[in-house]
Amino acid sequence: MVIERILIFLLALIGFTAIVGAKNIIKKVFGLNILNAAVVLLYILEGSRIGDQAPILGKGVTNMVDPVPQALMLTAIVIGVCVTALALALAVRLYKATGSLEIDTINERLRSEH
């Protein structure tokens, strides 16, 4: 379990670094997605502590994983997709307005507008 957790932490760190540090706004959106994915993996890992079979009731299924985290993450993934779509739509409009995807350039070009 420890090695998985370290990997998930690294994944989250990559996402977070991209959100904070990347100059390109598309990369920021990617970073948000990676960070989201890390949390999804964390939940799924946690749910699998108590079993090793998919939580679909059927013949011979005894050792199920916890189904609640999976259900939650399904919702979280859907929300993540919505937010990503909206963020990309905003990025397109920013590009159309300023002709750039770099956050500093966008800031500079929009500053003159009132």
Q: Cβ closer to another protein: 23 or 53? A: 23
Cα radius of gyration (the chain): 19
The half-sphere exposure of 45 on its side-chain side, counting CA atoms within 13 A, is: 15
The torsion of the CA quartet 20, 96, 77, 17, rounded to 10 degrees, works out to -10
Residue 12 near residue 35, CB atoms below 8 Å: yes
Q: Cβ closer to another protein: 12 or 60? A: 12
Q: Cβ closer to another protein: 21 or 53? A: 21
- Footprint of another protein (CB under 8 A): 16, 19-21, 25, 28-29, 32, 35-36, 39, 42-43, 46, 68-69, 72, 75-76, 79, 82-83, 86-87, 90-91, 93-94, 97-98, 103, 106-107, 110-111, 113-114
